[in-house]
Amino acid sequence: MQSENRMFDDLVKFVNGAAGTLAGMGREAEAATRERAKEWIGGLDFVSRDEFEAVKAMAAAARDEADALKARLDALEAKAMAPAQPGPRAKSPKS
């Protein structure tokens, strides 16, 4: 009877060792996959969220400035196109 227990004990130790080995292999495979994915994504032209937000703010500021400049230009063009106000007429020398 004791020999049967010993055989089961050995079988349990073997299965536990195999399970630990498989779990370790799984963790290593996951880490390697993550590292390859980071390298692959890093090779593409992606930007970080911080960089994106900074450029987005710069674009909004540039758009606001362009709108303000357009309004100034429209006002100047309207002023230039307005008919000249008649001023006091100078007398001609023949009169």
Instruction: Kindly state whether residues 5 and 23 are assigned to the same domain.
Output: yes
Residue 8 has pLDDT above 90, yes or no: no
Instruction: Kindly state whether residues 58 and 68 are assigned to the same domain.
Output: yes
The reported pLDDT for the residue numbered 92 is 58
Instruction: Kindly state whether residues 8 and 36 are assigned to the same domain.
Output: yes
Instruction: Kindly state whether residues 4 and 38 are assigned to the same domain.
Output: yes
Instruction: Kindly state whether residues 56 and 33 are assigned to the same domain.
Output: no
Scan for tokens 């196109």, then name that residue.
81
Instruction: Kindly state whether residues 5 and 34 are assigned to the same domain.
Output: yes
For 35-86, the pLDDT digits (tens) are 998 888 877 777 889 999 999 999 999 999 999 999 999 999 999 998 766 5
* pTM to 2 decimal places: 0.42
Q: How many domains are there within the chain?
A: 2
Residue 23: C-alpha distances to residues 18, 28, 37 (Å): 9, 9, 21
Rounded-to-integer distance, Cα 44 and Cα 15, Å: 43
Structural domain harbouring 64:
47-79
